[in-house]
Structure 1
Amino acid sequence: MQRAGRVAAIWREVPGIVGLALPIVMGLAASTLIGVTDSLMLAPLGPVPLAAVGLTGAVAALFYAAIYGLLSALSVRIGAAWGAGEGRAISGILRSGLALGALVGIGSALVMAALWPLLPLLGQPEEVIGAMRAYWFWICAFLVPFAILTAFKSAFEAVEKPWLGTAFAFLGVVVNVPLNYALIWGLGPLPQLGLTGAGLASFLAETIALGAAFLWWRSAPSMRRLRLRRQVALGEMGLTFREGAPLGAMYVVETASVSVATLMIGAFGTVALAGNQVAQAVGWGLLYMLPLGVAGAVAIRVAQERGAGNAAALRPIALAAVAVAGVWLVAAALTLALRGEAIARLVTDDPEVVAVAAAIFLVFAPMQISDAVQSAMLGALRGLSDTAWPAMVSAIAYWPVALPLGYALAHWGGMGPSGIWAGYILALAGAGAALAVRFWRKTALLEAPASA
């Protein structure tokens, strides 16, 4: 009977995890669609604008990851206050979070702008760098409204209105389309700005989405008890920053690790790089969003129940998150393993590239299962405001373990390009096990007073 009760408790949590994870995943996807829209609408201008968007996006992705990770602590702090029924506390946390978002956005914009002089030193094409200066700096400016809107999205997710944050994220994407058309090609009195117009449109679209989110928060009747006040608590900003900084650093480390793995695959030649790009577009571009969304969802649910003092619910929430991510990613793993070659052929008809991509898909398949556990447990610990140690474990998994192991399997183990990614299977599995043990110990301490 006790086992049946535990299973029932886990099952009851599944709808809540799915209900939170889905809009979070959609919101994360929306953040990448601005660059996709720019690429599609600039394509008729030739390869130089497309290369400029790709180069700028590759650098901006590091800042997106850092901003998302750092400000994700805001959803945990608000979630805990929401679970405890402390509406006034949420107002203070949010206004401090918005101020922190503005500072993080401005800081990120300045750092990215400072990287501009380094691009020629990295051997990038002169014609691309010559064309992209204004676009680069508009994307730097884009980071400011993006960071503040991320803070708003974290708040909406934590107070059980996750689709609201997603709607504002997609509003930016929708507004970007007509603005892009008008500013790239010229419309009426507007000049034809080309690549520069795409950057300006992205900045304006995100700013409009941020303005809409702020107006909603100020005027919606359902938000009345969570209204913003003028004061900003520096202490609250500091707490959010201390909790979020390890996560921001971890996501940057993770993104950088993937970039290094790609460079390592480049040693095998152009065909290997092309096959890896095909595999990554599916394996990281599409599938990676799901465990990231589940991690965000379980963090919020754990924080809410922790705030409510319901320690007995914490383990069922974490196990439900593992189950949700596991079911999806096992299905994805089977698809990649059994139909990887057919998927690659949807992208390219080059037989050599297809062969490399299919081999990498076979490695991506078991990696999905390892990532399901690692991501869910990372999110569960985030919900307990435990971020520094888990971030360190993940960083170790991605760098001193995954990359050297991948190199050994690729070169000495005879696996070739797919071996680089094979190193991640054991690294993520080990990280997931370590994080699960820590979560179990943490929750045992929380449950002990209640059972005493």
Structure 2
Amino acid sequence: MTVCAKPFRQECRRILLLAMPIVVAQFAQTANGFVDTVMAGRVSPDDLAAVAVGSAIWVPVFLFLVGVMQGLTPFVSQYRGQRSHQAIGGLVQQGLWLALPLGGLGFLLLRNMEPVLSLMEVDNAIRPMIIAYLQGLSWGFPAITLFLALRSLTEGMSFTTPVMVVSLIGLAVNVPVNYVLIYGKLGFPAMGGVGCGWATSIVMWLMLVLMVQYCVIFDRKQETGLFRRFAWPDSVVLKSILKLGLPIGLSIFIEVSLFCVIALFIAAIGAQVVASHQIALNVASMLFMIPLSLSLALTVRVGTNLGMSNAEGVQRSILSGLAIILVIAVVNSSVMILFRTQVAGIYTDDAVVIEMAAGLLLFAALFQISDCLQVSANGVLRGMKDTAWPMLMTVLAYWCLGLPVGYILGLTDWVVPAMGARGFWIGLVAGLTAAAIMLSLRVIWRFRRALPMPA
């Protein structure tokens, strides 16, 4: 397969223009968690612990809902490729209907987490604070799911800047609202770490209001009819959205839960091992946002070209994305290899932890190509409305290969003397490599079936 240089460069540019605002939005959302951690930590260790444990509960729930609502984006992008803007408005309306019960589900889950805290044997001293933090944050979930539905409208139509701007505004507002609620300013009671939960809820509602205002203007220009016609829930459309979105949400939840399980296994080895693992994981997660954003951009570009029945366009999108992703993987790997000690030193002054974290970052550097390939292949497949098989493939790669390999190498002497955290990171390399191979083969197979290439 060959691609002419000029169209190839143009497609690379389109993908990058789509992905760059998404990268900024992802970092802004991550920075909100960083701000909460720092500001709660300045109150007391108990407040910091409450926010940390609370975040470990609500973030996986949030990411699951993000995945489910991403089921809208392939439909929007394909309708845009077909220039069926009126269909987009009706589809997003159904997405808003879906967002209502999903937001309610998140609300109820976060307000009933006491049994989970008991099961986790969380310290009784901080348990009331965690519950209050989650209850405050729960009020934002109905807003954020509606925001996610509107986000699919703009991103699916290749307008990613609005979400970036709204995310940056949310970050800017989160800091002063945190300050007011944590320390009890402007007549509010001092809530400590609990105030972070309420501040996050306020930011979620603000983001929804800003997104609605933008989408009203956007709807008039694009003539989708989103706010001009009313439609009751359509079970057929809702089922089709869930058919795509539910596997995405489950895939994300499965991946997040894998890292939680690994952390629990490593916790028994020792505090320094846990610290080094957390540092390496945090660095890898931060750098992962770049290929993740590219994956979202690929979903839009592939979906749009499929909607246009443009096989050559789909091919260009895939090959352009592959070229960009390989460059990103090489850059990420180089950063981890060349600056691993300096990066680890940002997190701690403990020489032993720095040395251990630097060693784990070498494994992270090793799986960059696999990780970038698997996430970009997932993005392509979502653009093709293929999400069920990729979910099964990730379960097979992570839980049936990566975790067993990690456990055997890390905690047993069956193959080699127990390697501790390094064994689990070797398992991650194995799992991500397997996922990259299976998903890439799935992309090739789906592309050949989706559209015939012109002679």
TM-score (norm 2): 0.93
- Alignment partner of 2:83 out of 85, 98, 121: 85
Unpaired runs of at least 5, structure 2: none
Map 1:405-420 → 2, pairs under 5 A:
405-410=405-410, 411=412, 412-414=415-417, 415-420=419-424
Superposed displacement of residue 34, structure 1: 2.8
Aligned match of 1:373: 373
Write the deviation string for residues 255-298 of structure 1: whole angstroms up to 9, x where unpaired. 000111122222321111011111112112x1121222121111
- Paired with 1:10 and 1:418, the residues of 2 have a C-alpha distance of 40
Superposed displacement of residue 100, structure 1: 1.1
- Alignment partner of 1:198 out of 190, 196, 219: 196
Aligned match of 2:20: 22
- Alignment partner of 1:183 out of 181, 184, 187: 181
Aligned match of 1:349: 349
Aligned match of 1:297: 297
- Contact kept, 8 Å, 1:96 with 1:234, in 2: the verdict is no
Write the deviation string for residues 209-249 of structure 1: whole angstroms up to 9, x where unpaired. 10121122124542444432321333222211111100100
- Paired with 1:76 and 1:275, the residues of 2 have a C-alpha distance of 39
Aligned match of 2:71: 73
Superposed displacement of residue 118, structure 1: 2.3
TM-score (norm 1): 0.94
Report whether the alignment pairs 1:147 with 2:120.
no
Superposed displacement of residue 37, structure 1: 2.3
- Paired with 2:21 and 2:239, the residues of 1 have a C-alpha distance of 28
Aligned match of 1:321: 321
In structure 2, relative to structure 1, the CA distance for the partners of 1:331 and 1:281 (3 Å cut) is: same
Unpaired runs of at least 5, structure 1: none
Superposed displacement of residue 117, structure 1: 2.5
SS at match of 2:71: helix
- Contact kept, 8 Å, 2:113 with 2:131, in 1: the verdict is no
SS at match of 1:268: coil
SS at match of 1:134: helix
Aligned match of 2:284: 283
- Paired with 1:20 and 1:60, the residues of 2 have a C-alpha distance of 28
- Alignment partner of 1:118 out of 110, 116, 119: 116
Aligned match of 2:256: 255
Write the deviation string for residues 44-92 of structure 1: whole angstroms up to 9, x where unpaired. 3111111111001111121122111111121111001111100100100
Superposed displacement of residue 325, structure 1: 1.9
- Paired with 1:426 and 1:11, the residues of 2 have a C-alpha distance of 33
Aligned match of 1:432: 436
Superposed displacement of residue 8, structure 1: 5.0
Aligned match of 2:239: 238
Segment drifting more, 343-352 vs 241-250 = 343-352
- Paired with 2:194 and 2:267, the residues of 1 have a C-alpha distance of 31
Aligned match of 2:450: 446
- Paired with 1:6 and 1:405, the residues of 2 have a C-alpha distance of 43
Aligned match of 2:92: 94
Report whether the alignment pairs 1:222 with 2:225.
no
- Contact kept, 8 Å, 2:276 with 2:356, in 1: the verdict is yes
Aligned match of 1:134: 132
- Contact kept, 8 Å, 2:8 with 2:320, in 1: the verdict is yes
- Contact kept, 8 Å, 1:371 with 1:428, in 2: the verdict is yes
- Paired with 1:317 and 1:223, the residues of 2 have a C-alpha distance of 24
Superposed displacement of residue 346, structure 1: 2.2
- Paired with 1:226 and 1:158, the residues of 2 have a C-alpha distance of 16
SS at match of 2:46: helix
SS at match of 1:45: coil
Aligned match of 1:54: 52
In structure 2, relative to structure 1, the CA distance for the partners of 1:427 and 1:171 (3 Å cut) is: same
- Contact kept, 8 Å, 2:157 with 2:300, in 1: the verdict is no
Amino acid of the structure 1 residue aligned with 2:252: Y
- Contact kept, 8 Å, 1:261 with 1:421, in 2: the verdict is no
- Paired with 1:242 and 1:182, the residues of 2 have a C-alpha distance of 43
- Contact kept, 8 Å, 1:402 with 1:423, in 2: the verdict is yes
- Alignment partner of 1:43 out of 25, 41, 44: 41
Aligned match of 1:390: 390
Segment drifting more, 76-85 vs 217-226 = 217-226
Segment drifting more, 359-368 vs 119-128 = 119-128
Identity percentage of aligned residues? 27
Q: What is the alpha-carbon root mean square deviation over aligned residues?
A: 1.9
SS at match of 2:317: helix
- Paired with 1:268 and 1:185, the residues of 2 have a C-alpha distance of 37
Superposed displacement of residue 6, structure 1: 4.9
- Paired with 2:10 and 2:430, the residues of 1 have a C-alpha distance of 31
Aligned match of 2:268: 267
In structure 2, relative to structure 1, the CA distance for the partners of 1:297 and 1:439 (3 Å cut) is: same
Segment drifting more, 91-100 vs 19-28 = 19-28
Report whether the alignment pairs 1:11 with 2:14.
no
